[in-house]
Structure 1
Amino acid sequence: MTKTKIIAFQGRPGAYSDLACRNARPGWTTLPCEDFYSTIKAVQTGKADQAMLPCENNLVGRVPDIHTLLPRSGLFIVGEHFQRVEHCLIGIKGAQVSDVKRLHTHPVAMGQVSGLIQSLHVEPVIEFDTAGSAEIIVKLNNKEDAAIASSLAAELNGLEVLRHNVEDESYNTTRFYIVAQEREIPPVDEINTMTTLLFKTKNIPAALYKALGGFATNNINMTRLESCMADGTFCATKFLVDVDGHTEEAGLKRAINELRFYAEECVILGVYPASPYRQLKQH
């Protein structure tokens, strides 16, 4: 009998990361973890086969913890997933929108439903997690208390969705890295491949300009460039980069070789298939 695979995520059952796991890895068992460290640890110890780690959102930007934890983890990026964030107004059975006086959710989600808060004239109540706020609504068992969370959180907690898609912006989307203990590098001739790498520039004038020059001259499309301070100093900076292409393709290989010449260190975090979402958004 084939063992069911497990994918770990940070948050409570029904969190958007849980939803991302179910969409990206249908049939797998999802494993909720308290924080990103525990999520990564689950894969390191073999408790989970893979982990779903949010890396950026098109409204609030990057997820900073991932920049620090992932490079030190020894895990590799084996895929990516884009999850549309569709906030729902959730209440207990029998509740109506007109009953709601208090709105519970995570602070980021709260900032994404300001229109709803103003139209309903409700009191915002900050909680630690979107899915966790749904669990709180169950415990309160009061029609005047509602949560902002996913429809999955409502389903798992036996709650009712009072209104779908209450977010201010319909394009709210989170991108995730899917990580594992071993690399899963696609064939070099497979189209739509991504490469993620982390490098530290030398502390010399124009180091970043020179390090990235090879990507331009070799016609390599860079989809992401993020900086973070290195070693707790203000003199050295690390950069996380996502580019289109495979490390064994001639153009990207030349670009990385040129990058290494101007960098003190360069680590390939993953070579993996690009999400179909990228092609959909191009058309």
Structure 2
Amino acid sequence: MSNPRRIAYQGEPGANSHMVCQQHYPDLEAVPCASFEDVFACVEAGEADLAMIPIDNSIAGRVSDIHHFLPSSKLHIIAEHFLRIRFSLLAIPGTRLDQVRTVHSHVHALGQCRRFIREHGLTPIIAGDTAGAAREIAEAGDPTQASISPPLAGPIYGLDTLAADIEDEDHNTTRFVVLSPEPLRPPADDGPVVTSFIFNVRNLPAALYKALGGFATNGVNMTKLESYMVGGEFTATQFLAEVDGHPDHPGVKRALEELAFFTTEVKLLGVYPADQARF
């Protein structure tokens, strides 16, 4: 693809998605979007060249709503990145920790910092976004209010850090994928590769068992398998899967060919280098 210039992400400046953009694409302009739907639309309309989307968290599991957009999107996964999630307690300059009474953040962030909140007797207040909570604290100018936000949000909104690394678990990690209008497959012989795809099984007894059998018999490691309801039906017929390997590798190629016999649709979402953080 031509040299990318802009990368879109969901959230306000200072969000974790913004941090990943800065870490891995420092030369690109990071474009904040209000929702995941807006991120996809921004890239599909040509207003940004790439999208940075969280897809899994080691504590919370899969990121909701993403599975609604990936199957119907015209975008392709071209990379993955892992971010160790860190949260700081932010407040207006000059605030002391013992002054704070309420703490504001996204519901997931509040849940991931329960121990700190309980130990300091703070009242949690749900906000729409971790970075947006920092902005709201800066605008309120009230020393009794603080936010739980990514460290990047502090300097962006002119807030002091009252406490750092307040998350309950030190393994809290989010996996992000980078989406592009153009597929960018790495060579089959250039290091570890991940292949992501979706498929719909046929309405037959043991169809899923038979569909996945080819991966076992061909020695292909499946690292992800998630089911979704589609079309308003209460039957899980669509699956999102990821395997180690490239579609040009003989084992993966044979497994995908066998998968086609027991499915009504197989769609590759992306073939991309495996991030070293996997290992």
Q: SS state of the match for residue 79, structure 1?
A: strand
What are the superposed Cα offsets for residues 36-90 of structure 1, whole Å, 9 maximum, x if unpaired? 1110111111111100111111101111211111111111000111111101111
Equivalent pairs counted in the alignment come to: 278
- Once residues 81 and 105 of structure 1 are traced to their aligned partners in structure 2, the CA distance between those partners, rounded to angstroms, is 24
- Once residues 122 and 180 of structure 1 are traced to their aligned partners in structure 2, the CA distance between those partners, rounded to angstroms, is 42
Judging changes above 3 Å, is the alpha-carbon distance between structure 1 residues 3 and 210 closer, same or farther for their aligned structure 2 residues?
closer
Judging changes above 3 Å, is the alpha-carbon distance between structure 1 residues 25 and 123 closer, same or farther for their aligned structure 2 residues?
same
Conserved in 2, the CA contact under 8 Å of 1:6 and 1:50? yes
Alignment-derived partner of residue 36 in structure 1: 36
Alignment-derived partner of residue 154 in structure 2: 154
Alignment-derived partner of residue 225 in structure 1: 225
Alignment-derived partner of residue 277 in structure 1: 277
- Once residues 24 and 58 of structure 1 are traced to their aligned partners in structure 2, the CA distance between those partners, rounded to angstroms, is 20
- Structure 1 residue 3, shift from structure 2 partner: 7.3
- Once residues 57 and 80 of structure 1 are traced to their aligned partners in structure 2, the CA distance between those partners, rounded to angstroms, is 13
Alignment of structure 1 residues 182-193 onto 2, 5 Å: 182-193=182-193
What are the superposed Cα offsets for residues 150-188 of structure 1, whole Å, 9 maximum, x if unpaired? 110111111111111000111111111110000000011
Alignment-derived partner of residue 201 in structure 1: 201
Alignment-derived partner of residue 82 in structure 2: 82
Alignment-derived partner of residue 9 in structure 2: 9
Conserved in 1, the CA contact under 8 Å of 2:211 and 2:261? yes
- Once residues 155 and 207 of structure 1 are traced to their aligned partners in structure 2, the CA distance between those partners, rounded to angstroms, is 54
Q: SS state of the match for residue 12, structure 1?
A: coil
- Structure 1 residue 22, shift from structure 2 partner: 1.1
Conserved in 2, the CA contact under 8 Å of 1:113 and 1:167? yes
What are the superposed Cα offsets for residues 221-265 of structure 1, whole Å, 9 maximum, x if unpaired? 111111101222124510000111001111100000001111111
- Once residues 141 and 202 of structure 1 are traced to their aligned partners in structure 2, the CA distance between those partners, rounded to angstroms, is 58
- Once residues 138 and 235 of structure 1 are traced to their aligned partners in structure 2, the CA distance between those partners, rounded to angstroms, is 47
Alignment of structure 1 residues 55-204 onto 2, 5 Å: 55-204=55-204
- Once residues 263 and 12 of structure 2 are traced to their aligned partners in structure 1, the CA distance between those partners, rounded to angstroms, is 40
Q: SS state of the match for residue 255, structure 2?
A: helix
- Once residues 169 and 40 of structure 2 are traced to their aligned partners in structure 1, the CA distance between those partners, rounded to angstroms, is 31
- Once residues 87 and 160 of structure 2 are traced to their aligned partners in structure 1, the CA distance between those partners, rounded to angstroms, is 13
Q: SS state of the match for residue 151, structure 1?
A: coil
Judging changes above 3 Å, is the alpha-carbon distance between structure 1 residues 168 and 236 closer, same or farther for their aligned structure 2 residues?
closer
- Once residues 9 and 62 of structure 2 are traced to their aligned partners in structure 1, the CA distance between those partners, rounded to angstroms, is 17
Conserved in 2, the CA contact under 8 Å of 1:194 and 1:273? yes
Alignment-derived partner of residue 258 in structure 1: 258
Q: SS state of the match for residue 64, structure 1?
A: coil
Alignment-derived partner of residue 241 in structure 2: 241
Judging changes above 3 Å, is the alpha-carbon distance between structure 1 residues 3 and 193 closer, same or farther for their aligned structure 2 residues?
closer
- Once residues 201 and 106 of structure 2 are traced to their aligned partners in structure 1, the CA distance between those partners, rounded to angstroms, is 36
- Structure 1 residue 4, shift from structure 2 partner: 6.6
Alignment-derived partner of residue 23 in structure 2: 23
Q: Compute the RMSD of aligned alpha carbons.
A: 1.2
Q: SS state of the match for residue 139, structure 1?
A: helix
Alignment-derived partner of residue 45 in structure 2: 45
Q: Tell me the TM-score normalised to structure 1 length.
A: 0.96
Q: SS state of the match for residue 209, structure 2?
A: helix
Conserved in 1, the CA contact under 8 Å of 2:4 and 2:50? no
- Once residues 167 and 5 of structure 1 are traced to their aligned partners in structure 2, the CA distance between those partners, rounded to angstroms, is 34
User: What letter is aligned with 2:55?
Assistant: C
Conserved in 1, the CA contact under 8 Å of 2:87 and 2:165? yes
Conserved in 2, the CA contact under 8 Å of 1:203 and 1:236? no
